[in-house]
Chains A and B, each alone.
Chain A
């Protein structure tokens, strides 16, 4: 009895707080990492110490400031052309966040629309969309993205397009299956009994129930989009040569990895932090948003 009383006293005052508690440490760590990434992307011009393209050949390949030979003007050192590594990293974060946001959202829009369609109409609509997904997923994604980016041409738009074209299937497949599950639930049947049209049923009843799943997928997809952008820019077919990206920094760092390993190490650290942050964030949000799920 006493236990129950204590539990109810300690119970959070609102559903929001209850959700946050369910999300647990994953949600907190994930949120902090993602927030750092987004803040860096938004406020780059304010605090980036240098123009990321500004070359200073006199101070090329400087190590980070705390290492011997480092310069306080360049906190994380410089690359082979004497460009500020810190500034390039943060400007790259901006590119990565932009690509991730736009590409993941577009892929989600297309995938969710087709998934809802296939899942709720069934029959030949479902058949043809499912076959399309199967054929799509038979291609090796890395090769496909490289071929696609080449086909569409260099530039941010083509990177985004490549990601969307490859990854809409990820959303479509899951949303289709989940829509079918939700439609068999009693509440969906009840909604049909009271005369809700199919469109309204989807919008009012099904879609809200898909939100937790969708949020998780979005977070994971942003992580994947960041990775694809890194791959394409590492290979050298992403954005135009002078825009800094983590991938191109790695490719440059690879050339002088023995002389200046930090040039390669720093963008890798940024990528891993972002991807793990997005994964934790997505996982945590799923736990927080889903009232049924218990960790």
Chain B
């Protein structure tokens, strides 16, 4: 079976500095994979690379990103664009800034449907109403006619989730979609993602720094540090028997309901030093196959 997403030896550099140093990772059809790591580990950069959203001075220097067996980096611009938003979708991090402030909600969703699915205006409207109902918005007719600033942050994130699943994507990249929301809303959003991915049969790459979230909804996970994969496997295995000291440290820093709160233990500095010097050493080694 072809993997929905197969990233192989991906290297991404900002100017001369490497942020991803040869990352490989698979997402199988219907799988929910957590991608965890602290800030700066490169987890968001990976999502951006898949979506073709790398910042201006940033570039892929090596590796392959295959979607359903086809290399996204090698394909023609038009072909890639026809996949984005339709077969590969994004749930963005900040719902406050991710909707166009001067367009009504209904129009933003409707445009997407008409652009990718070629629906008529009327069909798009009907589908939009369904989608909003699917993300538990009770009065879709009213919300359709509202502007983003007229609805709450949680509601905006639900709209964005509806847009992500609008065209039955094979892969949804969720880029820390709960970070900007408060805790009660976070739970609703997670439940929604879970429900919609089941209904639409999508695989999800869930980028987060929150191991609690991963434990809740991801079957498998990948731990990223300093641009490299430290550990990966079934979520239960990784969380119960972390093989790497860094994962243990991350785990210890995650608050849990089933044990009393303890003092926040930072990742040991010597471990960080060790990881970084290792990363630096790897940087110096020429990539395999490079002249």
The reply, when asked whether chain A contacts chain B directly with Cβ atoms under 8 A, is no
Q: Which residues of A contact B (CB under 8 A)?
A: none
Which residues of B approach A to under 8 Å, CB–CB? none
